[in-house]
Structure 1
Amino acid sequence: MRAHEQSVDLTGYVPGRAAAYRQAEIRPQVSGVLEKRLFVEGTDVKTGQQLYQIYPVPYEAALAQAKADLAHGEAERVAADARKARFTHLSGINAVSHQDYDDAVSSAAQAAADIASAKAEIMSAQVNLDYSRVYSPISGRISRTLVTEGALVTANQTTPLATVTQLDPIYVDLTVTGEAVSRLRESLMNEKRDHTSTGAGQVDVVLDTGRPYTSPGRIDLLEVMVDPGTGMTTLRTTFQNPDAMLLPGMFVHATLHYGRRKAFLVPQNVVLRDLHADPYVLIAGSDGKAVLRKVKIIQDSGNSWVITDGVSDGDRIITEKLQTLQPGDSIHLLNEPA
């Protein structure tokens, strides 16, 4: 067969697992009896949507008490300020002792501090009352509830009330070799340098049912370290997932595209191995004898090897009697189209 250089799509097949783009465990931030559940399990919720109502009456009472304390403090301050002003005037004409004057000034300052404390108590009580209404921090699909109405919940308890998971977009984490990462980086750098687009970095997945996923993904994160024990690392990709076909934890088969490059497709049964397992092919030399050429294989493509080095355009690669033919043996070439 005659070797012809062509543009070849370079790909790699790797396993992957879907992971949530964002996930929030819903926990109460105040204690109390769960009064209402305000969502349907398994449906989509929005950011800021109320999910639960904790019995609010104790927190409403605490807020009312804090406001009453503020009103009492303001009344005390009016009296303290008036007493301070009066004693300031009397002190100026030596009609009151220094001790009484100091006490009046101190009382006014204490009244001001009491008001500041009461305002802080109002803020704290308002926050606790607001926390009695439990909202979703993100948009996504909510799980089943783990706590029912009437149950006593506590602030920051270990067990979440429910979990909200953002499914669109969704991550797919791929387990790849360090060599695959190097190839991908090289392809992306070449694209940037040459201002071209060869499809490097595109990711396609097939679901565990064997059905191809409709839209390709993009690379979002590349781990900075390779596991020295396994030589593997994680490549995080992002997919649009409007129909929630991909779910967190789902296993997928992924095709990682390294881009296109000029190469030769040579049938696998034509490529031989020497004693060191290095690949080579036998070429028909111009003198009618077999010539050994070591080649570089970068991947397979169907029943062929993708070869980038060792073969030149137009070379005649020997395809028959490979088990008995040796380099330097005379060969008989059959007529074939160029």
Structure 2
Amino acid sequence: MNKALKLQFAIAMVGLLFVGCGSSEKKQEKKPATVSVVEIKQENVPFNIKYTGITEAYQFTQLRARVDGYLLGQEYKDGAVVKQGARLVQIDPAPYKVAVDNATAKLQSAQAAFLIAKQNFDRISPLYEKKAATKQDYDTAVATLDTSKAEVTAASANLEQARLNLSYCDITTPFDAVADKIYQYKGSYVSPSKDSLLTTVYQINPIRVNFEISEADYEAITTNAGSVNILGRPVKILFSTGKEYEKTGKIDFVSPAINEKTGTRTMRVVVENPNGKLTPGQYLGMIFTDINLNGVTLVPQESILQGEHGYMVYKVTSPTTAVQQQVTPSRWIGDRVIIKDGIKVGDKIVKSGIEKIGVDGKIVVAH
């Protein structure tokens, strides 16, 4: 776009040089350039800037072995959709079932010992109060009761740990997801300390899309949205082919900090993905759908020249004269440009025929 503007400027400059160069012959007076003119007005235009986003899973987790043992097998197909709680892999539970049985037996034994200790204490205590039992007998009964009570607590904890270890033999998914390939195969020996990663599961419905936005655009969006809180704002999503995705996303995160290296801040969109058309790592286009830029000054792109000292337009100062006016463009909106400085509402500028204007700026406005 800038190359086109530069070429247009160069053509205009060549025309000016031809006019400016004298000769020994009598100079012929150049005819005024026939141009079209447009009057500057403030307008409201959709904020239809397209940003490039990258998808990521709504959440994901690595499933790892939490106990030692041999894998009995894989219970899903690589890349399959799996439901929350589904078992994907199983570690041989046999030794852990034995451990549960042993812990259960020890707990029962401890409970029996506690019952005997309690009965002995209940018998000794009233005798001691009547001085029919010695202090040593009483102290022994109390100590035995406390010890047996602690052994019941320890045995209960051991049984709970044994049951936990047994439950860890079933590797299940914590949410509806798509499962990655398996990393350890049937018969492999796995351990929490080595070769523990078994697979990874990704929740992709809904799915998230991250994109970067300049501080100028962020200011424009929040100003015209009427609030700095733009969470929930709708965003249209486009595939790389330009085709629109059938679901509309919503802003669910705006970074509170600006990246000092890029001068941008991260925004994130969440969007439904029931059919899995969107996958993590995919590039998508993002366009805000309900935000307008209000009261902006727009000029046709063809009215702008780009030269060594920046951008300029030909401003009409009388029905027959136009002068160069430096301007500061903000952004391109289709075939028009938002101008920040240099012209104001009510000004008239040359729209077409710029390349014909001479150094004298003489024009004839076509009607």
Q: After TM superposition, is the score higher than 0.5? A: yes
Aligned with residue 214 of structure 1, among 246, 251, 263? 246
**Secondary structure of 1:317's match?**
strand
Distance 1:312 1:101 in 2: 103
Shift of 1:248: 0.8
Aligned: 1:232 with 2:264? yes
**Secondary structure of 1:147's match?**
coil
Shift of 1:177: 1.9
Distance 1:106 1:162 in 2: 51
Aligned: 1:147 with 2:184? yes
Residue identity opposite 1:236 in structure 2: R
Aligned: 1:312 with 2:331? no
Give 1 or 2 for the bigger CA radius of gyration.
Answer: 2
Distance 2:354 2:116 in 1: 114
Residue identity opposite 2:283 in structure 1: F
Tell me the residue number matched to 1:91.
128
Relative to structure 1, is the Cα distance of residues 329 and 190 closer, same or farther in structure 2, using a 3 angstrom cutoff?
A: farther
Q: How does 1:33-182 map to 2 (within 5 A)?
A: 33-155=70-192, 159-182=196-219
Distance 2:364 2:227 in 1: 42
Q: Please say which of residues 84-93 and 222-231 is displaced more in the overlay.
A: 84-93
Relative to structure 1, is the Cα distance of residues 308 and 190 closer, same or farther in structure 2, using a 3 angstrom cutoff?
A: farther
User: Which structure features the higher share of strand residues?
Assistant: 2
Q: Is the 8 A contact 1:10 1:299 kept in 2?
A: no
Tell me the residue number matched to 2:39.
3
Relative to structure 1, is the Cα distance of residues 291 and 133 closer, same or farther in structure 2, using a 3 angstrom cutoff?
A: same
Q: Is the 8 A contact 2:319 2:364 kept in 1?
A: no
Aligned: 1:268 with 2:301? yes
Aligned: 1:28 with 2:60? no
Which of structures 1 and 2 has the larger relative contact order (alpha carbons within 8 angstroms, sep 6+)?
Answer: 2
Q: Per-residue displacement from partner, 1:89-146 (whole Å, max 9, x unpaired)?
A: 3323434332222111111111111112212222221222222222111111111111
Number of equivalenced pairs = 327
Residue identity opposite 1:48 in structure 2: G
Q: Is the 8 A contact 1:80 1:111 kept in 2?
A: yes
Q: Is the 8 A contact 1:168 1:241 kept in 2?
A: yes
Tell me the residue number matched to 2:30.
none
Relative to structure 1, is the Cα distance of residues 224 and 173 closer, same or farther in structure 2, using a 3 angstrom cutoff?
A: same
Residue identity opposite 1:76 in structure 2: A
**Secondary structure of 1:180's match?**
helix
Residue identity opposite 1:183 in structure 2: A
Distance 2:244 2:335 in 1: 22
**Secondary structure of 2:350's match?**
coil
Q: Is the 8 A contact 1:174 1:235 kept in 2?
A: yes
**Secondary structure of 2:197's match?**
coil
Q: Is the 8 A contact 1:44 1:140 kept in 2?
A: yes
Q: How does 1:278-293 map to 2 (within 5 A)?
A: 279-286=311-318, 288-291=320-323, 293=325
Where in structure 2 are there 5+ consecutive unaligned residues? 1-36
Shift of 1:233: 2.6
Please report the TM-score for the alignment, with normalisation by the length of structure 1: 0.84
Q: Please say which of residues 222-231 and 1-10 is displaced more in the overlay.
A: 1-10
Shift of 1:22: 0.9
Distance 1:171 1:251 in 2: 12
